[in-house]
């Protein structure tokens, strides 16, 4: 395996990680901003108010996005196995 092939595999691995985590992180970000806006508008300064809705939203995003994540991981695994088989 050459250095270029190793870099291709590493680059693809980084893209897989970004594709898997981005939707979940975006959901967490949006929920956090909405709750922060709500807190700023109502002047409620409760620090723990953010955690429960954000955990629920991230859990739901994980359940909805699980088939997509499995497909991305499966595609990357097939790519790696083709590299291993072909040498």
pLDDT in tens, 32-83: 999 999 988 998 888 888 899 999 999 999 999 999 999 999 999 999 999 8
Angle between helices 51-86 and 3-42 (to 10 degrees): 170
> For position 69, what pLDDT does the model report?
94
> For position 56, what pLDDT does the model report?
95
Residue 50: CA atoms inside 13 Å, Cβ hemisphere, count?
16
Helices (DSSP H) in 1-87: which residue ranges?
Answer: 3-42, 51-86
Compute φ and ψ for 46, nearest 5 degrees: -85, 120
pTM: 0.79
Q: Which residue has the higher pLDDT, 25 or 48?
A: 25
């Amino acid at each position: 395996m050459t250095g270029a092939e190793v870099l291709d595999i590493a680059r693809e691995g980084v893209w897989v990680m970004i594709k898997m985590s981005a939707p979940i992180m975006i959901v967490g970000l949006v929920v956090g901003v909405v709750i922060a806006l709500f807190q700023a508008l109502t002047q409620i300064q409760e620090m723990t108010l953010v955690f429960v809705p954000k955990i629920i939203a991230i859990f739901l995003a994980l359940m909805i996005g699980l088939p997509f994540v499995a497909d991305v991981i499966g595609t990357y695994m097939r790519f790696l196995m083709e590299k291993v088989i072909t040498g």
